[in-house]
Amino acid sequence: MSEAIDFAHYYAERALDLEKLERALFVPSKLIVVTPPWNFPVAIPAGGVLAALASGAGVIIKPAPQARRSAAIMVQALWDGGVPRDVLALVDVEEGELGTQLITHPSVGRVILTGAWETAELFRSWRSDLPLLAETSGKNAIIVTPSADLDLAAADIVKSAFGHAGQKCSAASLVILVGSVSKSPRFRRQLEDAVRALRVGWPHEPTTQMGPIVEPAAGKLQRGLTVLAEGESWLVTPSQLDDTGRLWSPGVRDGVVAGSEFHLTEYFGPVLGIMHALTLDEAIALQNAPDYGLTAGIHSLDPAEIEQWIDEVEAGNLYVNRGITGAVVRRQPFGGWKRSSVGTSTKAGGPNYLFTLGNIEAIFAKPRGSVRLTGLSPKVKKVIEASQAGIAFDEFDRVRAAAVSDQAAWEAEFGATRDVSGLAAERNVFRYRPIPVTIRLSEDASQVQLVRLLVAATITGTPVSISTAVPVAAGLVALLRSETSPLAASAPVVETDAAFAARVAASDTPPERIRLIGGSAALLADALGGSPDVAIYSGPVTTEGRVELLPFLREQAISITAHRFGNPDPASRIRTL
Catalytic residues: 135, 169
DSSP secondary structure, 125-190, as one string: HH-TT--EEEE----EEEEE-TTS-HHHHHHHHHHHHHGGGG-STT-EEEEEEEGGGGG-HHHHHH
Instruction: Provide long-range contacts, Cβ within 8 A and 24+ apart, for 415-419.
Output: 417/577
For the beta carbon of residue 205, count every other beta carbon within 10 angstroms: 11
Dump strand ranges (E) for 7-147: 24-28, 31-35, 58-61, 88-90, 110-114, 132-135, 140-144
Pairing of strands 553-561, 426-434: antiparallel
290: left (phi over 0), alpha (psi -120 to 50) or beta: beta
**Strand partners of residue 61:** 34, 90
Q: Which long-range contacts (CB under 8 A, 24 or more apart) does 187-194 make?
A: 187/144, 187/150, 187/153, 187/154, 188/235, 190/150, 190/151, 190/154, 191/154, 191/157, 191/158, 191/235, 191/252, 192/235, 192/236, 192/252, 194/154, 194/155, 194/157, 194/158
> Phi-psi region for residue 405, left (φ > 0), alpha (ψ -120 to 50) or beta?
alpha
Query: What CA–CA distance (Å, rounded) separates 461 from 448?
Result: 20
Sign of CA dihedral 113, 115, 117, 120: negative
The overall longest dimension of the chain from CA atoms, in Å, is: 80
The SS3 of residue 20 is: coil
Q: Estimate to the nearest angstrom the gap between the alpha carbon of 72 and the chain centroid.
A: 28
Tell me 321's DSSP state.
Answer: S
